[in-house]
Amino acid sequence: MARILDLVRNSQLPANQMQFAARGALLVPPGEMIEILVHLALHNKLFGEQARMTLAGWDEKASRAAAADPTTSAEVLGYFAAPDNLRIALLPLLAENPSVGERALSELAAEGSRAVVEILLQSKRVMGSPLLLKALKSNVSLRPNEITEVAEKHAALPVAPAAEHHDADVHEAHVPEEVVEGTLAKYLEENAVEVAAHAQKPFEPVRTEHEQAGAVLPPAAAAATAAAEKSVVADHPKTHPHPAPDRRDSALQKISKLGVQGRISLAMRGNKEERAILIRDSTKLVSCAVLDSPKVSEGEVEGFAQQKNVLEAVLRAIPMRRKFAKNYSIMRNLVFNPRTPLDLSLGLMKNLLVHDLKNLSGNKEVPDTIRKLALRMFKQRTEKKE
């Protein structure tokens, strides 16, 4: 007999039982119930919100057991470790769980609250990881004595090249320098006329409708934007009479000082953080250069494909790169992105799986044309199976 979890994943559970599932009221083992709730929270438009509320108040003992268990599914651990879902009581267990990827922990280390920082400073795993210590050093909640302590521990750790590339989502894949430089030279040569025409165009990020309407940015984003604007205006070193020791310009400040060719070069040569900023560049030559970088990963492009603050030209360019066109998650994200041009979404929909068509038909963010076609395709495919 199939597990309830499998029935939920395949959308084969009756609606009334799906409601029970979203409330955590099914008679299944605690571990399976958490998996069901996380699946609904992440993948089900109709019951996802209820599932997220249920998880937020889920029994702490059961949650702690799941957070500490290395055999817990990666999806559940990833959900628990995500900044938006994090429960502080679970963080000490998540930090030491070897099945929790360093990608999730590095994001918390870099951007977590003071409470998060205090827990991570006590973690043996964090204190022994060059990557996590590097991320932690950039957290604005660190106190001066902690900055010194973390920097000393980071400097004392040996660099292990093999370990640095263990997690492909966190670490840069090794790409020969000659490959990067060759790609950059070819890109600049092919676009030489446009690069010259827009040489002095400053960095200006594409904004979402909410940002354009003057919505309040999150504190971290607002601080970064203010710092970048300040760096562009400032001409004199006295602007910062008492700079912090060894403090370097942020990636955003660095980018704000570059012309178009400099930003294209950084899009090819830079790191993940810099690519995440440059993909939002309102200059098409720059943002599309990120997609041509030999260093950009498919995981990064999965994220780009669902962003609402990138140029339409970027979304159109993604499926034109063969290696990205073969990635189902990237193509699905494009269709679900309300910013994706209608003609592109219509062309990609034929490749969607049945359960994604069902979810798309109920997605109120996408155009009505997409929803109606998704519903029709879903009905056609399910009728064929019968």
Indicate if the pLDDT at residue 87 is higher than 80.
yes
Instruction: Give the tens place of pLDDT for each residue, 155-213.
Output: 888 754 444 444 444 445 578 888 889 999 999 999 999 999 998 899 999 887 655 65
Quick one: pLDDT band at residue 214, thresholds 50, 70, 90?
Answer: low
The packing angle between helices 284-292 and 260-269, to 10°, is 20
pLDDT at residue 209, rounded to an integer: 65
Instruction: Give the tens place of pLDDT for each residue, 103-138.
Output: 889 889 988 888 999 999 999 999 999 989 988 988
Quick one: pLDDT band at residue 385, thresholds 50, 70, 90?
Answer: low
Percent of the chain with pLDDT over 90: 47
Instruction: Give the tens place of pLDDT for each residue, 346-355.
Output: 999 988 888 8
166-175, 304-313, 322-331, 359-368: least confidently modelled range: 166-175
Indicate if the pLDDT at residue 248 is higher than 90.
no
Instruction: Give the tens place of pLDDT for each residue, 261-317.
Output: 999 999 999 998 899 999 999 999 999 999 999 999 888 898 899 898 999 999 999
Instruction: Calculate mean pLDDT across residues 84-92.
Output: 92
